[in-house]
Structure 1
Amino acid sequence: MAPLIPRLHLLEIDDQPWFPSFLRNLVQDALTLAWNSNTPLQPESPARIAASTLIRQLGSSLSSYTFIDFCAGGGGPTPEMQRAINSHLSAQNKPPVDFILTDLHPNIAAWQKIVKKSPRIMYESQSVDASNAPKYLMERQDGKKVMRLFNLSFHHFDDDMAKHILKDTVNTSHGFAIVELQGRSLSSAISVLMLGVGAVAMAPFVAWKRKSLTIFIFACIIPVLPFVLVFDGLVSCLRTRTPEEVESLLRGCGTDTSSWEMQSGRRKFIWPCGYLHWVICKPIEGS
């Protein structure tokens, strides 16, 4: 059922060029923590839910892909998704898969730490435009197919840019997966407010663990971090598309998509009202 609230492409603070890069990195770190958290209200992390969704939807073809994370930010759920998917493939005695982190504004420092811990994850140090992905990245020498990942990022694109990205995806890739932690609903707005409260509550512990006075100052004393998380989170709710809206953009992107089929769904990731929304689209087998 279509949401009652129309999609509004409002501005997010974290997207603005004037927003300090060190604060942007803190926002990305907070979102990464949200992706990977397990709490009494959140018994399974969103990253694990995203991984299990890919495992279920791609089935026996899972190991035939390389997963390229566009708009990877600080890494988000990708390291945990990689672990879950490759653990599943190992148990099935199937070849592992690789993940590649990319972004228009690469976060090299964060990615280097990830790569040191995860041998199946690589990163592209050059800026990557999702609407015009470079051939050397998309044409895999190992013969693997490319599945594009948009983790908490597809809502950032306006309709024109989204169409260009989908056209480039259809022309150069073998599928895409969109995962969002919010939708255009009151329940999503409530879960965003919970994220802000959680950011304040967890800040002293995270600051102590990382020996970072900056985190404590900008989360508790001058609460810029929780404000941006809540403000941008509410805007993200208004920006997020339904599966039907994504499909409409896909079919109107200016290239042949007749062989592409779309699946979608949602799963609760935090009690009582936080839902992970997913869209996976790829060509029909044998087409």
Structure 2
Amino acid sequence: MKLRLQLFEFEDLPWFPAVVRAGMMDYLRFMISALNTYQPIVPLLRDALRQTGQPPLLLELCAGAGGGTEGVLRSLRESGLPQAQVTLTDLYPQPAAWQLLAARTPGLFFEPTAVDALAVPAHLAGFRTVFSAFHHFPPLQAEALLADAVRQQVGIGVFEGAGKSWLEILLAWTVLPVAQLLITPFIRPFRLSRLLLTYMLPLIPLFTIWDGTVSILRMYPPEQLLALARRADPTGRFRWQAGKVRHTWGPQVTYLIGVPDTTA
């Protein structure tokens, strides 16, 4: 599917209730972690980190509740980068969820204050990653996010846990809502509000269906990701690659990776 529609997601809206946003982010984190959604990109990310010649420090932008991060970090540390670290950041921080991850995951840290991915503070260093969130940015902002990495000469990886297909939209309307109802009692940290807003007043499932559908429609396919990268890096200071990698059990991950070209 090459169609891209710039519709709105509720979680992007400043007035959207934080308690509902947190419930949606917790569900997303649980599912991405349980399904090991981003494991297929670990070799790509490991190679990109090595190409930079810098310490293996990751700065995750738009981290949400940190879905998949600890699995990716653990795999990096077990496959040749034992000193790998990641710092989670977000415009809407989720410290309760992040504290849980940091407590059980060596090398995982977080920035408790709000961080705008389009204006990353200078003291937050590292190879930038964006998991499941790049589609939130319309083209001009997406280009600006990439251009800032180019200006700062820091590598960047953009990863979306979907291949962008009508089948995935169908799953968002059928299978995933049922899964959400089944797994919600097991999501940690425990929140009574999450139970109430899932079963008594099902705002979390309803908004998740909408935002999940819009996420797929807003995703950039690989050719559009490369076009954004070329506009963000008109002088070719980075080496860029984009594509899709398939998980062993079927789903795909769409990616864009840029690394400073030391020979340029």
TM range (shorter): 0.7 to 0.9
Does the CA contact (< 8 Å) of 2:222 and 2:243 recur in 1?
yes
Pair 1:31–1:281, CA change in 2 (3 A): same
Shift of 1:17: 2.1
Pair 1:53–1:33, CA change in 2 (3 A): farther
Per the alignment, residue 18 of structure 1 pairs with: 15
Per the alignment, residue 170 of structure 1 pairs with: 150
Pair 1:66–1:60, CA change in 2 (3 A): closer
Count of residues paired in the alignment:
262
Per the alignment, residue 125 of structure 1 pairs with: 112
Residue 58 (structure 1) aligned to one of 45, 48, 64: 48
Does the CA contact (< 8 Å) of 2:26 and 2:97 recur in 1?
no
Per the alignment, residue 32 of structure 2 pairs with: 35
Q: Larger relative contact order (C-alpha < 8 A, sep ≥ 6)?
A: 2
- Aligned pairs for 1:270-285 within 5 A: 274-284=251-261
TM superposition score normalised by structure 1: 0.81
TM superposition score normalised by structure 2: 0.88
Shift of 1:155: 0.3
Per the alignment, residue 220 of structure 1 pairs with: 199
Secondary structure of the equivalent of 2:21? Answer: helix
Percent sequence identity is: 26
- Aligned pairs for 1:227-238 within 5 A: 227-238=206-217
Secondary structure of the equivalent of 2:259? Answer: strand
| Residue ranges of structure 2 left out of the alignment (5+ in a row) | none
Does the CA contact (< 8 Å) of 1:261 and 1:284 recur in 2?
no
1:246 correspondence with 2:243 = no
| Whole-angstrom CA distance in 1 between matches of 2:248 and 2:10 | 25
| Whole-angstrom CA distance in 2 between matches of 1:201 and 1:79 | 23
Shift of 1:27: 0.5
Residue 148 (structure 1) aligned to one of 125, 128, 152: 128
Does the CA contact (< 8 Å) of 1:167 and 1:255 recur in 2?
no
Pair 1:200–1:284, CA change in 2 (3 A): same
Pair 1:174–1:32, CA change in 2 (3 A): same
Superposed CA offset, 1:210-265 (max 9, x none): 66443333223322222111110110111000111111112113653354221422
Pair 1:183–1:264, CA change in 2 (3 A): closer
| Whole-angstrom CA distance in 2 between matches of 1:119 and 1:80 | 11
Does the CA contact (< 8 Å) of 2:2 and 2:221 recur in 1?
no
Give the letter for the 1:114 counterpart.
L
Per the alignment, residue 265 of structure 1 pairs with: 244
Per the alignment, residue 136 of structure 1 pairs with: 123
Does the CA contact (< 8 Å) of 1:46 and 1:269 recur in 2?
no
